[in-house]
């Protein structure tokens, strides 16, 4: 097992046992694909679609936030 896989397995176990009280998820603004396309740009197209390119929305953040907001388990914050 790779070092990365071992660390991921450990962190997931810690999270399940309640030692990890929070997890940050999102899109890193400074991250780019090999062709220099910003990951955040692609994420926005997935989330909201692009009429000019005939791409329908395929939201992944908004439904999750909407479904879990009432449980009080979601805190929105910019990092």
Check residues 38 and 78 and name the one with the higher pLDDT.
38
Average pLDDT of 40-54?
95
Residue 55: its pLDDT value, please? 97
Residue 9: its pLDDT value, please? 87
Instruction: For the chain, give every domain's residue range.
Output: 23-79
Residue 5, classed as helix, strand or coil, is helix
Whether the per-residue pLDDT at 20 is higher than 60: the answer is no
The closest of 22, 17, 64 to 9, measured between CA atoms, is: 17
* Calpha distance 30→79 (Å, rounded): 12
Residue count of the chain: 79
Residue 47: its pLDDT value, please? 94
């Amino acid at each position: 097992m790779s070092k990365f896989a071992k660390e991921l397995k450990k962190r997931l176990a810690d999270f399940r046992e309640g030692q990890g009280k929070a997890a940050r998820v999102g899109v890193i603004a400074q991250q780019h694909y090999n062709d220099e396309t910003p990951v955040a740009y692609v994420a926005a197209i997935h989330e909201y679609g692009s009429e000019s390119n005939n791409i329908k929305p395929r939201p992944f953040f908004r439904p999750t936030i909407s479904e879990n907001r009432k449980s009080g388990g979601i805190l929105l914050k910019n990092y």
